[in-house]
Amino acid sequence: MRVLGIETSCDETSAAVVCGTPEAMSLESLVILSQDVHRLFGGVVPEIASRQHLTGIVPTVDAALREAQVTLDALDAIAVTHAPGLVGALLVGTSYAKALAFTRGIPLVPVHHLEGHLFSTLLEYAHATPPFTALLVSGGHTMLLDVPAWGRYRLLGQTRDDAVGEAFDKVAKLLGLPYPGGRPLEQLAATAEPPVQRHPHRFARPMLRKTAQPGDDDFYDCSFSGLKTAVLHAVRDAEKAGDLDAQRASIARGFQDAVIDTLVEKVARATRQHRRTRVVLGGGVACNQALQQAMRDRLGARGGQVFAPSPRLATDNAAMIGAAGLFRLHRQEFADPSMTATASLPIPGIF
């Protein structure tokens, strides 16, 4: 089976060709057109994103087919992200995929963007299969899932306010770093020592009550807005003392350490509670090496395995849509002509 994946939910126009079965898949091509223009605005501007997808979609799909050395005739299906995301951006991908599929008589498979993130690790690690604990951390989502089987997603917890990536981006902005801020913040944090107890940059860990029990809301849920405010106060204090430049790295380190401690503890709780040994990370924040290392240190000690995709597959891309599409194709889940883009929608199979 060979699937063309198309992704346009946010600010990446991407197409990929994925081949094989849900048990053994390989990536034949991947093209990602990143819309750098949003850097000028410090965030994604939806109208600009849609327009850039419009100009980018045809050459991106053509390049993916060329790179895979196949024509449309070689495809068993076209998989496209139909939710969630920016509606105008999603519409470009869904409209294009629909037109291509229906005029060429190729089956069309709608894919949920977050299910795509769960599948992307499989393209690099054949053992990243259920059952596993999944942590999806991106600019728009923070979700902890237990995955007993593909297509069955038990939602354990999520953020109550900012997504982790969003918090990274906002804190990076406070520290004068460019957008998107996750990577530069990680690089800056790596130059500082971890703030010790009582250090002003040893920020309180959000939602880490030691006595929390399974069933309590804060056992798995996260919250990052308080941490963001704590960083804001630290930045203001440093500015008042005329010392911000000297303190920026330490503040970045303090913020990142607090986020990582929180996420690692929540994931450890999930693996313990559901007796999972495998952990799959997904989304742009999964690129964070310090996060990956902390997960491995904590879970590896108990025989756990942590899988994180390489940066190209962790951030938004069409390979993951092709991979999830292959799974949905095997289940014969096709789109009908009424299929459209949806801004928010639960992952299919969530419980």
Residues that bind ligand KG4 (CB under 6 A): 10, 138-140, 165, 168-169, 180-183, 186, 283-285, 287-288, 315-316
Q: Which is nearer to Zn ion, 170 or 248 (CB)?
A: 170
Residue 257: CB minimum distance to ligand KG4, A: 13
| Structural tokens at position 337 | 């002509």
Q: How far apart are CA 251 and CA 259, in angstroms?
A: 12
Q: Which is nearer to Zn ion, 124 or 218 (CB)?
A: 124
Q: How far apart are CA 10 and CA 163, in angstroms?
A: 15
Identify the CA nearest to 125 among candidates 282, 271, 291.
282
Containing 107, the helix (H) or strand (E) segment is none
Q: Which is nearer to ligand KG4, 19 or 141 (CB)?
A: 141
Among the candidate windows 188-196, 216-224, 295-303, 309-317, which touches Zn ion by CB under 5 A? 309-317
Residue 48: CB minimum distance to Zn ion, A: 18
Q: How far apart are CA 262 and CA 220, in angstroms?
A: 10
Residue 257 contact among Zn ion, ligand KG4, none, beta carbon within 5 to 8 Å by kind: none
Q: Which of 61, 316, 325, 327 binds Zn ion (CB under 5 A)?
A: 316
Per DSSP bridges, beta strands 305-307 and 278-282 are: parallel
Among the candidate windows 58-66, 149-157, 313-321, 338-346, which touches Zn ion by CB under 5 A? 313-321
Identify the CA nearest to 12 among candidates 43, 56, 68.
56
Q: Which is nearer to ligand KG4, 182 or 325 (CB)?
A: 182
Decide: 289 and 143 in contact? Cβ < 8 Å.
no
Q: Which of 138, 159, 247, 262 binds Zn ion (CB under 5 A)?
A: 138
Identify the CA nearest to 169 among candidates 209, 140, 126.
140
Residue 334: CB minimum distance to ligand KG4, A: 26
